Amino acid sequence: MRRIATALAVMVLMTCPAAAFETEEEEVFAARGAEARSVSVLSTTDTDVLRPAIEAFQTAHPDTALRYVVASSQEVFAALDRDGAAFDLVISSAMDLQMKLANDGFAADYTSPQTGRLPQWARWRDQIFAFAQESVVLIASRRGLQGLPVPQTRRDLTELLRDHPEVFRGRIGTYDPRASGAGYLFATQEARQSDSFWRLAEVAGGLSPRLYSSSLDMIRDLKAGRLALAYNVLGSYAGPRLESDADGVVVEFADFTLTLLRTGFIPANAVNPEGGGAFLDFLLSAAGQALIRDRAGLPPIDEAALSARPHLRPIRLDAGLLVYLDQLKREAFLEEWSSAMSQK
């Protein structure tokens, strides 16, 4: 799946001795022309997803080299919070961790015409800016449902699971919030939004759900027929992968569908904050947003889409995100979740 597109691409884990955090990929996109500056980006988004955008950015800025480092959201957080690693732009889909980093003073103020155009819900102060809005969906396999109707709300799903335990036992997939930052964010936000989360968790918990730490794994197992349903999967991953599959169904729940914001900020200790800003501006620009939609498969920031589909609820980018990062709160939540899931 991963293409090594450029001869200069380097995949290493330990090339950067200062970085104690764990990276997954690192690729240096050499400047098209004579190199005048270099931008380093720390991201949770796979290189291939943003590769077209990076290449287009370098066409516009031929004198800029770009180092793109991919790490998990926890590692991204640790890179800044613990290691003080210097990057010019930090991109992550873990909104709560991004928020915490900014709240704790790791983000620098940045303003540009591009950031000025962002709607208020897609930014926090002049520090965190969202460049993609991704719905969190249910995916189902028609074969796996064995002719049962595709649920459209959480209540539908709860009833379906309760009424047909034989169909779903051991065939439900969802995030393990203890292992996955994204899973924890989705679970806490859902719990906050509606009590139906706990009812669903209790019912699902009795059906021996399979727990994952990655959307891609859930999609893979669904396609492989190991799962009938997968709950809380990133729509941006599921959509393209199930599009051509007649068996796969992607459901945005009508009661509400969480919408995740993929955000970026410029760290306060950036070496080249202008470079980071330039790349961020490119992602926010009309050209960048079009590339994100068409080539990366990420839905761009689109206020019209939200009003057209009122069930979409963007996760609020505000201080409330800090609450579930609280040690005690996290412990209490995970304890409650575990007890709900382990019901027999």
Residue closer to another protein, measured from CB, 286 or 319: 319
**Does 149 sit near another protein (CB under 8 A)?**
no
Which of 3, 14, 34, 105 touches another protein (CB under 8 A)?
105
Site for another protein in 183-202 (CB under 8 A): 192
Q: With binding defined as CB under 8 A, does residue 82 bind another protein?
A: no
Question: By the 8 A CB rule, do 250 and 137 touch?
Answer: yes
Stretch that binds another protein, among 35-43, 132-140, 299-307, 327-335 (CB under 8 A): 327-335
* Selected binder of another protein within 9, 118, 322, 334 (CB under 8 A): 322
- Of the candidates 80, 120, 83, which has an alpha carbon nearest to the alpha carbon of residue 265? 80
Residue 63, interface with another protein (CB under 8 A)?
A: no
Structure tokens at 113: 């015409």
Tally of CB atoms within 10 A around 193: 15
* Shorter beta-carbon distance to another protein: residue 290 or 319: 319
Task: Select from 5, 11, 287, 319 the one that contacts another protein (CB under 8 A).
Answer: 319
125 near another protein, judged by CB under 8 A: yes
- Which CB sits closer to another protein, 43 or 127? 127
Q: Give me the phi and psi of 15, to 5 degrees please.
A: -70, -25
Report how many residues bind another protein under the rule CB under 8 A. Answer: 19
Rank residues 296 and 317 by Cβ distance to another protein and give the closer one. 317
DSSP run (H or E) holding 140: strand 128-141
Q: Measured between alpha carbons, how far is 83 from 233 in angstroms, rounded to an integer? A: 31
Q: How far is the CB of 20 from another protein (least distance, A)?
A: 22
Q: Is 2 in the site for another protein (CB under 8 A)?
A: no
Cα separations (Å) of 107 from 21, 159, 295? Answer: 19, 45, 28
H helix or E strand, kind and range, residue 92: strand 89-92
- Cα(115)–Cα(226) distance, integer angstroms: 44
Residue 111 touching another protein (CB under 8 A): no
Taking Cα atoms as reference points, which of 215, 201, 226 lies closest to residue 135? 215
User: With the C-alpha atoms ordered 208, 210, 213, 215, is the resulting torsion angle positive or negative?
Assistant: negative
Which candidate, 162, 137, 135, places its Cα nearest to that of 148?
Answer: 162
Choice from 22, 35, 83, 104 touching another protein (CB under 8 A): 104
Residues ≥6 apart with Cβ < 8 Å to 307: none
Q: Which of 29, 24, 28 is nearest to 14 (CA)?
A: 24
Return the residue of 318, 339, 342, 343 that touches another protein, per CB under 8 A: 318
Residue with tokens 């399979």: 210
- Using the rule CB under 8 A, which residue among 60, 323, 339, 342 binds another protein? 323
Provide the 3-class DSSP secondary structure of residue 42.
Answer: strand
Among 102, 249, 260, 301, interactor with another protein by CB under 8 A: 102
329 binds another protein (CB under 8 A): yes
- Can residue 313 be called a binding residue for another protein (CB under 8 A)? no
Dist. CA 26–CA 22, nearest whole Å: 11
The residue from 326, 339, 342, 343 that contacts another protein (CB under 8 A) is: 326
CB atoms closer than 10 angstroms to residue 166: 9
**Contact between 60 and another protein (CB under 8 A)?**
no
Compare residues 170 and 320 and give the one whose CB is closer to another protein: 320
Stretch that binds another protein, among 40-48, 146-154, 258-266, 322-330 (CB under 8 A): 322-330
98 contacts another protein (rule: CB under 8 A): no
According to DSSP, residue 51 is labeled: H
Which one of the spans 11-19, 218-226, 247-255, 311-319 is the region binding another protein (CB under 8 A)? 311-319
Contact residues: another protein, CB under 8 A: 102-105, 124-125, 192, 316, 318-320, 322-324, 326-329, 332
